[in-house]
Amino acid sequence: MTGYNVAVVGATGAVGTRMIEMLAQSTLPLGEVKLLASARSAGQTRQFKGQDLVIEELVPESFEGVDIALFSAGGGISKKFAPEAVKRGAVVVDNTSAFRMDPEVPLVVPEVNSEALKAHKGIIANPNCSTIQMMVALEPIRQVAGLKRIIVSTYQAVSGAGAKAMAELKRESQAYLSGTPVADLQPEILPCGGDKKHYPIAFNALPQIDVFAEEDYTYEEWKMINETRKIMEDDTIKVAATCVRIPVFAGHSESVYIETEKVIPVSAVKELLAKAPGVVLEDDPSQQIYPQALNSVGKKETFVGRLRRDLDVAEGLHMWVVSDNLLKGAAWNSVQIAETLHELDLVRVP
Amino acid sequence: MTGYNVAVVGATGAVGTRMIEMLAQSTLPLGEVKLLASARSAGQTRQFKGQDLVIEELVPESFEGVDIALFSAGGGISKKFAPEAVKRGAVVVDNTSAFRMDPEVPLVVPEVNSEALKAHKGIIANPNCSTIQMMVALEPIRQVAGLKRIIVSTYQAVSGAGAKAMAELKRESQAYLSGTPVADLQPEILPCGGDKKHYPIAFNALPQIDVFAEEDYTYEEWKMINETRKIMEDDTIKVAATCVRIPVFAGHSESVYIETEKVIPVSAVKELLAKAPGVVLEDDPSQQIYPQALNSVGKKETFVGRLRRDLDVAEGLHMWVVSDNLLKGAAWNSVQIAETLHELDLVRVP
């Protein structure tokens, strides 16, 4: 073969931009790369391996001849156009929440459950950013010691809410530092573009990501609960999440508490994680070494540190998990799924 | 009586400045107010109820004729000068960690354990900021349903590290927004002025507050564990803490998970907290109402929201707890202790 024709849907967004970068670095044999977006962005160009690619307007016919379509243009676009892509023979890797909990759709973190790809029917879902990095960190521990329970509190970057949210953090921060009163910061997007009220994120912490849903958990919190169980194929894992947006541009951090089935010493966990795929262990309190959001930017790995035993519960472990939410949390995981589909010879609609 | 002579030790610091404000708003009958600081600051003036007070250099003799001394100038100063104040008949309310775990010294949050003041021998300790607000939120629940376990992840403001740390966040933020690369931000204070390495806090999250101690927990984390047990007078409460600094100037936020002895419905917890002393319940997901650090600034109360049951553990509850760390977490709690000492007629060294 000469290579796969790949389409990027949502090529101008925060994630789409990174998808193009990740594709350029990928080992995936590439044929034609096609950048798709709304009519508004059509005609703009983006660099790809030294070439200028012209962005085309997304229409159903865009997928003629496409082998792999990477979607990151919002759930509505995925729901409408992913079936059109599949109908035309393209395998879809979808970075929205549109199909994640569909029992027919594999939800994949390649380090954890690439086997699930074998059952794909044309669409593969990329999990939520905050879920992915937690799965990469916990799977090596689960394999050895089992996993009964997760309690996670997140420290999520604004880039997870898109390029406009990043611009909002920048604008508000500049205004605040120039003396603008908090009441005059005029937030328009965060905590959630689709919700009624908006609050400043600059120098603040907002315990709302996505809209509120059942039991007064946010949809983001439900994603972490439900997606964890689906990816780990274990509905008995107890998962509780509190998802919080903080004034960081990129890089999600997570304070994660787990209880394993079997007691495992911290030293053994460190050994496991030091050699685990996709994980970088950054953990040396004597040298103040621990993962930091700013250091994770632009990197594909998930960084784990602050590993320590719970002082009261023998099976309890605490840790700090950080990753670039636009890369492993979105663009890189999507391209990595495409690479894995290629390795397993699954780039075809069954 | 005409009123108490009150000394503020560390009058020019982030907390000392707020102590002066809180004293001015206090119901405490006041005689003379004396502002004390290092020789470097002596001679400066500070406004107090429309008067200019001249800052004096702190020496042992400063406490002659003083009834109440509020200390917030670092643990070393407290260790050296608090006994000097007591020797001269002043009751000391100390905001440092110098005496907190001394079994002879009451550690007091007035809403929780003002009874402990009765045993004071001249020094009363003000708990750590992150502990205080958690105690205010949890005590009403504990009284009704008991408390077995706490797992807390904090989102702490830089003002907890003092005025210089606030200036550092401002300087780094401005530099970053002007295009300075992360590698050139030149952090000098955070995460911890007394530790070896310094990292940028602007647009970052640092999982280190204070230095590392036993079991790879930081000293800040140990404070939350040990102080909780001392204030609640129950060494059987399981406490685990992960303390994280985020780029917020003022207002600590906390993601708190608890397990009670008895199952208590969330609706009953909300009723309890709505009428609890020092608590403001801000909890209406349908209207996106929850506590926010920016909204807590300048307020004396502890704000609680995002209350919801754990989905797997019947005795489990999650919540979000926010308070101005310089007020309830420091200056206001200290002045409130002084007010309570007055109400209980305990302003004397036994």
Question: Which DSSP string corresponds to B12-33?
Answer: TSHHHHHHHHHHHH--S-EEEE
| Amino acid at the residue A304 | V
pLDDT band at B6 (very low <50, low <70, confident <90, very high): very high
Q: Are B122 and B67 in contact (CB under 8 A)?
A: no
**B93 annotated to a ligand binding site:** no
Report yes or no: B183 at the A interface, CB cutoff 8 Å.
Answer: no
Is B198 assigned a catalytic role?
Answer: no
Task: Give the CB-side neighbour count of residue A196, counting CA atoms within 13 A.
Answer: 6
Mean pLDDT for the stretch of residues B293-321:
98
Mean pLDDT for the stretch of residues B181-185:
97
Mean pLDDT for the stretch of residues B93-100:
97
Rounded-to-10 torsion of CA A229, A235, A240, A245: 20
User: What is the distance in angstroms between the Cα of B188 and the nearest Cα belonging to chain A?
Assistant: 15
Q: Does a cis peptide bond (omega within 30 degrees of 0) precede residue B191?
A: yes
Report yes or no: A303 at the B interface, CB cutoff 8 Å.
Answer: no
State residue B75's pLDDT score.
95
State residue B251's pLDDT score.
98
Rounded to whole angstroms, the Cα distance separating A3 from A66 reads 11
Q: What's CA A73's distance to the chain center, in Å?
A: 14
Among B residues 243-282, those touching chain A with beta carbons less than 8 Å apart: 244, 246-249, 253, 255, 257, 266
Report yes or no: B314 at the A interface, CB cutoff 8 Å.
Answer: no
CA distances from B252 to A207, A291, B218 (A): 13, 21, 17
Of B149, B293, B316, the CB nearest to A205: B293
Which of chain B's residues have a Cβ under 8 Å away from the Cβ of A216?
A: 266, 285, 306-308
Mean pLDDT for the stretch of residues B199-208:
98
**B159 annotated to a ligand binding site:** yes
Mean pLDDT for the stretch of residues B326-347:
98
Active site residues of A: 129, 252
The H-or-E segment that residue B311 falls in is: none
User: What is the distance in angstroms between the Cα of B171 and the nearest Cα belonging to chain A?
Assistant: 9
Identify which of A211, A220, A210, A264 has the alpha carbon closest to the alpha carbon of residue A240.
A220
Report yes or no: A81 at the B interface, CB cutoff 8 Å.
Answer: no
Q: Which two tokens stand for residue B292?
A: 């926010």
What dotted CATH number matches B4-126+330-343?
3.40.50.720
Identify which of B169, B182, B336, B339 has the alpha carbon closest to the alpha carbon of residue B245.
B169
Mean pLDDT score of chain B: 97
Pick the CATH number of B131-325 from 3.40.50.800, 3.40.190.10, 3.40.462.40, 3.30.360.10: 3.30.360.10
Among A residues 145-164, those touching chain B with beta carbons less than 8 Å apart: 149, 151, 153, 155
Of A170, A240, A293, the CB nearest to B177: A170
Which of chain B's residues have a Cβ under 8 Å away from the Cβ of A308?
A: 215-217
Exposed/middle/buried for A64, CB within 10 Å: 0-12, 13-18, 19+?
exposed
- B89-126: string of b/e by CB count within 10 Å (b at 16+)? ebbbbbbbbbbbeeeebbbbbbbbbbebbeebebbbbb
**CA-derived radius of gyration, chain B:** 20
State residue A223's pLDDT score.
98
Please, where in chain A does CATH 3.40.50.720 lie? Answer: 4-126+330-343
CB pairs under 8 A between A and B: 166
Q: Are A223 and A230 in contact (CB under 8 A)?
A: no
Which of chain A's residues have a Cβ under 8 Å away from the Cβ of B318?
A: 240, 242
Rounded to whole angstroms, the Cα distance separating A20 from A26 reads 10
Locate tokens 């919801």: which residue?
B308
**B323 annotated to a ligand binding site:** no
User: What is the distance in angstroms between the Cα of B89 and the nearest Cα belonging to chain A?
Assistant: 41
Q: Which residue is closest to B178 within chain A, CA to CA? A: A174
Identify which of B223, B233, B221, B222 has the alpha carbon closest to the alpha carbon of residue B147.
B233
Q: What percent of chain B has pLDDT over 90?
A: 99
Locate tokens 């775990």: which residue?
B101
Q: What's CA B329's distance to the chain center, in Å?
A: 2
Rounded to whole angstroms, the Cα distance separating A15 from A8 reads 10
pLDDT score of B265 more than 80 = yes
State residue B350's pLDDT score.
86
Please, where in chain B does CATH 3.30.360.10 lie? Answer: 131-325
Given the residues B120, B129, B192, B243, the one annotated as active site? B129
Q: Which residue is closest to B252 within chain A, CA to CA? A: A205
Locate tokens 């894992």: which residue?
A237
Rounded to whole angstroms, the Cα distance separating A82 from A72 reads 11
Q: Which residue is closest to B253 within chain A, CA to CA? A: A205
Mean pLDDT for the stretch of residues B235-262:
98
Report yes or no: B214 at the A interface, CB cutoff 8 Å.
Answer: no
pLDDT band at B27 (very low <50, low <70, confident <90, very high): very high
Residuewise pLDDT in 10s, chain A (350 residues): 579 999 999 999 999 999 999 999 999 999 999 999 999 999 999 999 999 999 999 999 999 999 999 999 999 999 999 999 999 999 999 999 999 999 999 999 999 999 999 999 999 999 999 999 999 999 999 999 999 999 999 999 999 999 999 999 999 999 999 999 999 999 999 999 999 999 999 999 999 999 999 999 999 999 999 999 999 999 999 999 999 999 999 999 999 999 999 999 999 999 999 999 999 999 999 999 999 999 999 999 999 999 999 999 999 999 999 999 999 999 999 999 999 999 999 999 98
Which of chain B's residues have a Cβ under 8 Å away from the Cβ of A207?
A: 253, 255, 290-291, 305-306, 320
User: What is the distance in angstroms between the Cα of A262 and the nearest Cα belonging to chain B?
Assistant: 20
Rounded to whole angstroms, the Cα distance separating B122 from A45 reads 73
Q: Would strands A279-281 and A45-48 be described as parallel, antiparallel, or unpaired?
A: unpaired
Q: Would you give the DSSP letter of residue A127?
A: P
Rounded to whole angstroms, the Cα distance separating B340 from A52 reads 72
State residue A1's pLDDT score.
57
Q: Is the dihedral of CA B167, B173, B177, B181 positive or negative?
A: positive
**A13 annotated to a ligand binding site:** yes
pLDDT band at B1 (very low <50, low <70, confident <90, very high): low
Report yes or no: A199 at the B interface, CB cutoff 8 Å.
Answer: yes
Report yes or no: B191 at the A interface, CB cutoff 8 Å.
Answer: yes
Q: Which two tokens stand for residue B251?
A: 């207002």
Report yes or no: A196 at the B interface, CB cutoff 8 Å.
Answer: yes
State residue B190's pLDDT score.
98
Query: Does residue B41 come out as left (phi exceeding 0), alpha (psi in the -120 to 50 range) or beta?
Result: alpha
State residue A2's pLDDT score.
78
Of A151, A207, A288, the CB nearest to B257: A151
Given the residues B120, B192, B252, B342, the one annotated as active site? B252
Which of chain A's residues have a Cβ under 8 Å away from the Cβ of B257?
A: 151, 240
